[in-house]
Copies of this chain bind each other. A is one copy, B any other.
């Protein structure tokens, strides 16, 4: 049986990098099936895929062996094997459209090798949407002070040990302590075209400013609110005479699409973040 493996790699750009990486695989008798590379501001970024046998060395052994290449190049890199299921956890508040999109895309097989392990929400109204997909829903009441609810959320996370967390229109700020304690990346969907309209009420701000396109932004979560590295963005035209409520309704379509795409990129290990920017591979 064959499985896919991938390498995410970046280092300061210089001559000969591609040859070094390719030789590593050639020498081990492995055939690269997908090779992407970009140079960005003097840094080289690459993602490779190849097929592995079941008996193949583990990611840890590859990581060890690859030191010979990476040291000379001052590189950062990660190996992933798409063999065991990744666990995705989702957070939601009262607006379920981004969550629903992910639940349905998952059901349609769009996130292979992924299990949606749990959903944490602060409204009971969303429970039936999650449970009809036979996914555990955990209600955790939230407060103005995150210290009052984050411990309970982290306990649930601890129990599932997810590989990725998605904030599917979860409308509470998360603390730096929370981010550090999840031990996995967190992807958020923000309902504006960042960096415009940071924080709460972005549609209201977009309306006030009279923009002609409204947008949505999915990004990795960092301690600074809505400042993390952007994975994906989308926009949709604002119609004349459109009210804030109509903008919100139309905006849900672009939010859910941007969020689902960003989660897919993160789950398939198609992103490298570097100095608050994200290189996204095809």
Report Cα–Cα, A214/B110, bound state, in Å: 19
Instruction: Assess whether A71 is interfacial by the CB under 8 Å rule.
Output: no
Interface string of A87-103 (1 = CB under 8 A from B): 00000000011001000
By size class, the interface of chain A is 35 or more
Minimum C-beta distance from A91 to chain B (A) = 19
Within the complex, which residue of B195, B249, B281 is in contact with A240, where a contact is CB–CB below 8 Å? B281
Tell me if A243 is interfacial: C-beta within 8 Å of chain B.
yes
**In the complex, A234 Cα to B193 Cα: how many Å?**
12
Contacts of A23 in B (CB 8 A): 22, 26
**Partner-binding segment picked from A37-45, A60-68, A73-81, A152-160:** A37-45
Alpha-carbon distance A31/B213, docked complex (angstroms): 32
Q: Among the listed stretches A143-151, A168-176, A183-191, A225-233, which one makes contact with chain B, having 4 or more residues with CB under 8 Å of it? A: A225-233
Residues on A lying within 8 angstroms of B by beta carbon are 15-16, 18-19, 22-23, 25-26, 31-41, 45, 96-97, 100, 104, 108, 110, 132, 193-197, 208-213, 215, 229-235, 239-243, 249, 252-253, 257, 276-282
Q: List 13 A-B pairs, Cβ < 8 Å.
A: A18-B31, A19-B25, A33-B39, A34-B39, A40-B240, A45-B240, A45-B241, A195-B196, A210-B230, A211-B233, A212-B232, A239-B282, A241-B279
